[in-house]
Structure 1
Amino acid sequence: MRHGQHSLHVAIIMDGNGRWAARRGLARSEGHRRGMAVVRQTIKDALSLGIGYLTLYAFSSENWKRSETEVVFLMRMCETILAEELPFMINNDIRFLHAGRKEGLPETLRDMIVRAEDLTKNNKKLWVILAFNYGGRQEIVDAVRHIVVDIVEARRRAEDIDEKAIADALYVRGVPDPDLLIRTSGEMRLSNFLLWQICYTEFYVTNILWPDFRKRDFERALREFQKRQRRFGGVHD
């Protein structure tokens, strides 16, 4: 599916790594390691299924509250994944984008993110947006700050602010709102994810823990989505 009006955007809250490990008597790091392997495969699956945009919620702004050992592990794992998967993204026309604050991330990870974004900036077949050090409220706050600076410096007028202006000030520009949001592990909450963008997104929740998520589960979610009648606030019989 090429980019355009009908490119599907799927967002995923990848939940359940810790519970997956606990049920097996393993360290949380083992759950994260297995979860990252599923990330790799899910990107490949999205490519084969013709998805246009895939947003993955990997590390929230609230996850800094976890133990230092776990946070350091996740930072290093993200670096490793980017380094290992960058050739695949380049060779398969995949564009990588980061959503979240780069401030606070280790310098090596920031550099890797910038490098991946730069080397894939002209790719078009699939856009992979990694929400890392991301929070939905945080994103809106940062967008408002950006707009306020423009007003103070006379680059725009307050009366010119509309929904498009706010959307353009979010972390990632040029990406349509998600059509489908998948959440694993059965939790029925948004966890501060894409609060601006999901106003008309369809939700699909599965009890499967993220490390057990497979292509068949992805396809099941897509089939369910295709049965939905999206109204966007309108009334239809």
Structure 2
Amino acid sequence: GHRAGAEKLNEFLNWCLEVGIPQVSIYTLSTENLNRPKEELKHLFKLLEEYVDGLLNDKKKFALLEKYEVRVRFVGELNRLPKKLIKLMGKLMEKTAKYQKRVLNFLVAYGGKYEIVNAIKKLAEEVIKHGKIEITEKDIEKHLYVPQPLDLVIRTGGYQRLSNFLLWQASYAEIYVTKTLWPDFSKKEFMKALRWYSQQKRNFGR
């Protein structure tokens, strides 16, 4: 299942690039996932290593990032991951840092609540350093892993919840839920989600 999911990721990325989506965030591994049995985690880390290594060293896969000028970012509590994986992620981020047209965020060892707590901690340090009293939403957003708001969340498997995914950024996002499981998610379903999104009247909570 996990391997099929990783393969689907390549297809999904292709579709996003083809239709011109400027920024995509993929929930790869949650902080809750890190509590799974050791053997399962070992398998997941191995798959992630293979996937990142593929993007980095497979000419065809990297050519896609190059063609669309995609900057790849890995965000989350990365220090909780195996050293080899951290190193590969660092290399890919370095290799794509010059690209500015599109952004691909991989959320790894990520939790939405932790991201907000982390941003507030950083902000508190700034406040102490500069003596700034008034704090705005923009100040917090500056310190988030992903500063931009989300427009659309696609939730596969029929789950009608965010599961700790980019909680701040998803405040006014439209949420498209499909019963289709992630490995079976097709381009047809993807286009259906985009059509559905284009028909929504977004009022941003007003």
Normalised-by-shorter TM-score class: over 0.9
The residue matched to 1:233 in structure 2 has which SS? coil
Task: Say which SS state the counterpart of residue 79 (structure 2) adopts.
Answer: coil
- d(CA) in 2 for partners of 1:172 and 1:225? 21
Distance in structure 2 (CA, Å) of the matches to 1:218 and 1:65: 31
Question: 1:163 aligned to 137, 140, 165, which one?
Answer: 137
1:67 aligns to 2:37 (yes or no)? yes
Q: 1:6-41 deviations in whole A, cap 9, x for unaligned?
A: xxxxxxxxxxxxxxxxxxxxxxxxx00000000011
Of 108, 111, 121, the match for 1:135: 111
Equivalent in the alignment of 1:83: 53
CA RMSD of aligned residues (A): 1.3
Partners in 1 of 2:130 and 2:77 — Cα distance? Answer: 24
Note the 1:203-222 alignment, pairs <5 A.
203-222=175-194
Counterpart-to-counterpart distance in 2, 1:90 and 1:133: 26
8 Å contact kept, 1:94–1:127 = yes
The structure-2 alpha-carbon separation of the partners of 1:99 and 1:156, relative to structure 1 and needing over 3 Å to count, comes to farther
Q: Which runs of 5+ in 1 are unaligned?
A: 1-30
Higher helix share: 2
Tell me which amino acid in the other structure corresponds to 2:11. Q
Aligned residue in 1 for 2:70: 94
Q: TM-score, normalised by structure 1?
A: 0.81
Amino acid at match of 1:84: G
Deviation, 1:163, is 0.6
Secondary structure of the corresponding residue to residue 80 of structure 2:
coil
Match of 2:121 in 1: 145
**Match of residue 9 from structure 1:** none
Aligned to 1:233: 205
2: CA distance, partners of 1:50 / 1:125? 10
- List, as ranges, runs of 4+ consecutive aligned residues in structure 1 with deviation greater than 4 Å: none
Kindly provide the CA deviation profile for residues 154-173 of structure 1, in whole angstroms up to 9, marking residues without a partner as x: 235132x2111100111134
Q: Is the 8 A contact 1:98 1:172 kept in 2?
A: no
Structure with more relative contact order (C-alpha pairs < 8 Å, separation 6 or more): 1
Contact 1:180 1:201 in 2 (8 A): yes
Question: Which residue is 1:105 aligned to?
Answer: 81
Do 1:100 and 1:132's aligned partners in 2 also have CA atoms closer than 8 Å? yes
1:121 aligns with 2:97: yes
| Contact kept in structure 2, 1:95 and 1:128, CA below 8 Å | yes
State the match for 2:7 in structure 1. 37
Quote the offset at 1:76 in angstroms: 1.6
Calculate the TM-score normalised by the size of structure 2: 0.92
Residue 166 of structure 1 aligns to which amino acid in structure 2? I
SS at match of 2:26: strand
1:65 partner letter:
N
Q: Distance in 1 between matches of 2:4 and 2:131?
A: 47
